Amino acid sequence: MFTLIPQIVIGGADLIAAFLFLFGLKRMSSPATAPSGIRVAGVGMVAAVLASFLYLFTVDAAARPHLLVNVGLAVTALLVGGAGAWMVGRKVAMTAMPQMVAIYNGMGGGAAGAIAAVELFGGRTQGATQLVVTLLGGCIGAISLSGSVIAWAKLDGLLKAPFRVTGQQVLNGLVFAATVAVGGVIVASALGVEGLGLTTPTWIWVFFALALVFGVLMTLPIGGADMPVVISIYNAFTGLAVGLEGFVLQNPALMIAGMVVGAAGLLLTVLMAKAMNRSVANVLFTNFGTPAKGKPGAIKGSERPVEASDAAIKMRYATSVIIIPGYGLAAARAQQKLYEFVKLLLAAKVSVKFAIHPVAGRMPGQMDVLLAEAGVPYDMIFQLDDINDDFATTDVALVIGANDVVNPAARTDKSSPIFGMPILNADKAGQVYVIKRGQGKGYSGIVNALFYSPNCNMVYGDAQAVLVQMIEAVRGLGAAAA
């Protein structure tokens, strides 16, 4: 009877945690309710963690001293990890958010891989099915860990360019095949097949080493502009690995949370691939980001710079303005100044909207979070499909630190690496102003044909400094009128 009550309590806590995960995720579907959704899901995670300590009361008294040692290690890990995450999370800049998400996602995959390793080395897997599921979860978790570390290094600038060699896909295929083969050897060894040459623990070490190497090889060839897709892929991988290890541990909370995260990550991957005009298979099995074959189309003309004050005055007397934020806005930490400028336009009866491309920035949703942080109302923020038709009737489009997502070459130049990718139709606005640090190429290294269009002018400079000048120019008009 003593052990029955905690089991019921643990099961109930897991169900409550699972409900909170699902309810929190549902609320995250809207920017207005996302903050509360995150808090609800956080409460669910706390409930799941606390419930795990109740397992201490489900074992015999003789086994408790050994289990207490593990509890002490678990508490220490929670304190160290929680304190570290709290301090880093409070200090991380918005520009560093993508790499933080990437590395934390990798830690989730690593945790799933560690669970698999403990089960395998401890010999606690029972039957071929459970062993195969454990190996599968461990493999996916290890791939997510090492791949996410490479993604983090690329986002953080430690790895500058894609690393590609001849026959890279063949090499990747061989490493993956070797990983599967070693997994098969482990299963065969556990089922009593003899004569395999190495002990089972040795094969387990080889298995995880190969999985980690595959994660590295899988991510190294990918260009930096494709990181939003990479992050969503590894998010799906981590969720799947956690769900599989939840099955191994017979833990409903882990299974449900893993399945939810995996499904959400897969859906996000599909949406990101669609936004870049790629299939999921193309994303997973080719060097996406590789330039298309053929000679790029020649771009005629030159970039035409204007002063920030001239652009601001043009927008002040416009009827409608659409603003397209990109990573340059985050890098300059200029979102507050942007909204300050927008409020001046709104006070002058100018219609202002924000247009968000699905792959703008370094990770999915970064621009939405950036604008929300500045206090921009949600009803002013529109996604690509909802606003693209409005550009043709808009007086001014203001592009801030964005490149590929407004490049008209995606519609016209078949030799362009981004040909076919849906873009924001900024070039169809009556006038386009682009705030950019200098004349260099964007993050993907592609020249933007928009910058040379007759209706486009460049405003060179740091986004925050430029917006300060625009604010002063509009305010100066009001002072002069008074």
CA dist 210 and 408 (Å) reads 42
Burial of 376 (0-12, 13-18, 19+ CB in 10 A): buried
Structure tokens at 376: 């921009």
Q: Which one from 368, 404, 413, 427 is the annotated catalytic residue?
A: 404
Taking phi over 0 as left and psi of -120 to 50 as alpha, with beta for the rest, 127 belongs to left
Report which residue type is found at 244: L
Taking phi over 0 as left and psi of -120 to 50 as alpha, with beta for the rest, 402 belongs to beta
CB 463 within 8 A of CB 435: yes
Cα end-to-end span (Å), the chain: 83
Structure tokens at 106: 């990798």
CB 289 within 8 A of CB 226: yes
CA dist 134 and 275 (Å) reads 34
Structure tokens at 194: 């003899």
Helices (H), 250-365: 252-275, 280-285, 308-316, 327-331, 335-347
427 catalytic residue (yes or no):
no
Q: In terms of Cα–Cα distance, which of 110, 220, 102, 106 is closest to 172?
A: 220
Could you tell me whether strands 456-460 and 320-325 are parallel, antiparallel, or unpaired per DSSP bridges? unpaired
Listed in sequence order, the residues at least 6 apart from 262 whose beta carbon sits closer than 8 Å to its beta carbon are 236, 237, 238, 239, 240, 242, 243
CA dist 423 and 12 (Å) reads 48
Residues with catalytic function? 404
